[in-house]
Amino acid sequence: MSKIGTSLEQLRDLPDDELKTALARTRDELFRLQLGKYTNQVTSTALLTTKRRDIARLMTVLNGRALSIETQAKKSTKTEKKAKGAKS
């Protein structure tokens, strides 16, 4: 699976309060990068795009949960995976 797909699965496993703190932290990082860009301290402008996309991913998961389109993923255990494999 791609790196983005893996990160989305990890985001969907997190509870809402952790997603909100990650969103606040990422927004703060983006602000600091933008400030550094204007003061000529940022060497990689690709980080700005990455942070904006991370914010969009976090907001997508949070908005999906708010609209009841998406729920928090349940972490499956090894026994559940074996049971699913035995049914197939």
Residue ranges per structural domain of the chain: 3-87
Residue with more model confidence, 77 or 54: 54
Q: How confident is the prediction for the chain on average, in pLDDT?
A: 82
Residue 42's pLDDT band, with cuts at 50, 70 and 90, is confident
Neighbours of 21 (CB within 10 A): 11
d(CA 44, CA 37): 9
d(CA 11, CA 26): 13
Convert 40-72 to b/e letters by CB count within 10 Å (16 or more is b).
Answer: eebeeeeebeebeebbebbeebbeebeeeeeee
Nearest C-alpha neighbor of 58 from the set 1, 5, 2, 16? 16
**Residue at token pair 């255990």:** 77
Q: Under CATH, to which class is 3-87 assigned? A: mainly alpha
Global pTM exceeds 0.85? no
